[in-house]
Structure 1
């Protein structure tokens, strides 16, 4: 699905989101799928492709925390360069005996523009083998759009998205691995995790007046419903349960109008002298 704008129009970035399930400890197969979808996204005019959390090694914390993320990042950089497309991908990062879930943004020439370590680890499975990141994501310019990275559970905390917005982010890219839990799936926990992509993500986009590209693994074990949401809280593109590539346009004119219509961030800054922004908000 696309929003109908000319992809070459100034201030418009076409974004693709890959929804698929990474095979555990099978980087060659997973990276080949990324390469195939990157080529497909580029052919459809996308300038950026966002992929799910730990897709290249598969999401299974206890089984992949020793994965060679450096080698995978090298191959991901090559995929970006081969297809002339920006790429957001999540890998394992190692430092001084500690392991992190990280996300990287690769430029269309393969340069790694920024890397972020997940701050909010989800549940015992992640907490037992990974270390929590300590720094907020950097805001970088990508194709004229100010972009920041988050990972999965991060976006479920209002403060995380708000800090990124106040730092100047216009697009938040979120590799994700949300498991499927619902009454239909027989889970005792009554919380339906499909509410995260269907409700929480558009709400974060609305309340922080930004675009969010949220890439989840596919069913049946994950919630799917990968989403691209705009600053009005609209889901511009949404996947179903299975493997899918969705596309939508990040249009800075829409962002500017949304901030003009309801100036949440400006009101926050004017009402709270201690709130600061690292880049001017339009």
Structure 2
């Protein structure tokens, strides 16, 4: 019996406002992953440029940008599919945070635009992503070597309905490229990724940016690192820690997804959208004080 597998390159690096340095790291790690047999290499969100909202808005890329063209060439050279996990993408319809899919021939196969924007206040620092980008219109699936892959980006991980919709549409692997804030990463990153894997019985592949290893870093904000691959059963198969430039190739056994879903058919057991969408019934109970019960 033939085993269905997919070799995936998980990446992580310290991204800054230096686009040339970030790109050089990305190109090198793609080459290393391809040399180790990767069929798919996934890059972090904002891996090509990570700065303040104003800096990222000013430096927004487009599909014709030289950095993207270099990624296309390296993908074609190595015959590997690359997902640029998230870039500020200037389009005629506005700026989006786009995961760009570059196929093994170097062609842009399409993109996913991040649906959930990180408008939050963490530790006194405001993150107003909606001041930089527009939200995407809907979910996107990638078919590669007979494997269906769901595309998400960073903050999307906090919205389980997106991952569930992708899994219900057949996704066996969920990508979560991220530039996760260090403080929330320390509290939630591993738990959120393991939860998305467990509840959907899918692999989760989450490349990440990481803060500088030196104490005097000048990043716009510190990111957590710990790029992860999680199994359909919630086991952490790879964790890149705080390495400032790393890649690891992991072979995903897709038959493990089939077995897990057969034994624990949570996707098949879902109720209809009309049932979930209805307002919950409210139950009212009458209480009595302790004095009344004496």
Query: Is TM (by shorter chain) over 0.5?
Result: yes
1:53–1:59: 8 Å Cα contact kept in structure 2?
no
Residues 97 and 111 (structure 1 numbering): CA distance in 2 closer, same or farther, change over 3 Å? closer
How far apart are residue 59 of structure 1 and its match? 4.5
Deviation per CA, 1:38-65, whole angstroms, max 9, x where unpaired? 1111111211111111211234332022
How far apart are residue 274 of structure 1 and its match? 5.3
1:158 aligns with 2:160: yes
| Backbone CA RMSD of aligned residues | 1.8
Deviation per CA, 1:195-246, whole angstroms, max 9, x where unpaired? 4331110110110111111011113521111101111111111111122212
Task: Tell me the matched-pair count.
Answer: 253
How far apart are residue 260 of structure 1 and its match? 1.4
1:53–1:152: 8 Å Cα contact kept in structure 2?
yes
1:94 aligns with 2:87: no
- Give the equivalent residue in structure 1 for 2:272: 272
CA distance in 2, matches of 1:93, 1:227: 25
Secondary structure of the 1:249 match is strand
Runs of 4+ that moved beyond 4 A: none
Secondary structure of the 1:29 match is helix
CA distance in 1, matches of 2:51, 2:7: 27
Secondary structure of the 1:127 match is helix
1:53–1:175: 8 Å Cα contact kept in structure 2?
yes
**How does 1:196-235 map onto structure 2 within 5 Å?**
196-220=188-212, 221-235=222-236
Structure with the greater alpha carbon radius of gyration = 2
How far apart are residue 10 of structure 1 and its match? 4.6
- Give the equivalent residue in structure 2 for 1:110: 106
Unaligned ranges ≥5, structure 1: 1-8, 182-191, 276-282
Secondary structure of the 2:135 match is coil
TM-score (norm 1): 0.84
Unaligned ranges ≥5, structure 2: 120-126, 213-221, 276-294
- Give the equivalent residue in structure 2 for 1:73: 68
TM-score (norm 2): 0.81
CA distance in 1, matches of 2:195, 2:56: 32
Secondary structure of the 1:79 match is helix
CA distance in 1, matches of 2:188, 2:273: 32
CA distance in 2, matches of 1:76, 1:60: 24
1:88–1:173: 8 Å Cα contact kept in structure 2?
no
**How does 1:1-282 map onto structure 2 within 5 Å?**
10-24=3-17, 26-66=18-58, 67-70=60-63, 71=65, 72-89=67-84, 90-96=86-92, 98-123=94-119, 124-137=127-140, 139-181=141-183, 192-220=184-212, 221-243=222-244, 244-268=246-270, 271-272=271-272
